[in-house]
Amino acid sequence: MSRLCKIVPERCIACGLCALYAPEVFDYDDNGVVLFSQEPKAYQQFIAVKDQEDVIKAYKRCPVRAILLEK
């Protein structure tokens, strides 16, 4: 099962948490701002990600809600 995920780089404070939890989904640009590791240009659209605990953890732990998940 997968869920739709979107990132909001404008909110990201480059804390480095999300890729720690879900490195196969999240990565960072040269400034440490979040991007999708598989689709680095997809930041204004939802993409399907596996509904895994690590993605949910990253979503919950992001301090500025720069990661959005749809059910």
Angstrom distance (rounded) from CA 15 to CA 39: 20
- Residues constituting the chain: 71
Which one of residues 22, 49, 55, 66 is an interface residue with ligand SF4 (CB under 6 A)? Answer: 66
Which residues lie below 8 Å from residue 22, measured CB to CB, with a gap of 6+?
Answer: 52, 54, 55, 57, 58
Residue 36 or 51 having the CB closest to ligand SF4: 36
Q: Within 10 Å of residue 49's Cβ, how many Cβ atoms?
A: 23
What binding mask, one character per residue, do residues 24-63 give for ligand SF4 by CB under 6 A, x or -?
Answer: ----------x---------------------------xx
Residues 6-25 that bind ligand SF4 (CB under 6 A): 12-18
Binding site for ligand SF4 (CB under 6 A): 12-18, 34, 62-64, 66-67
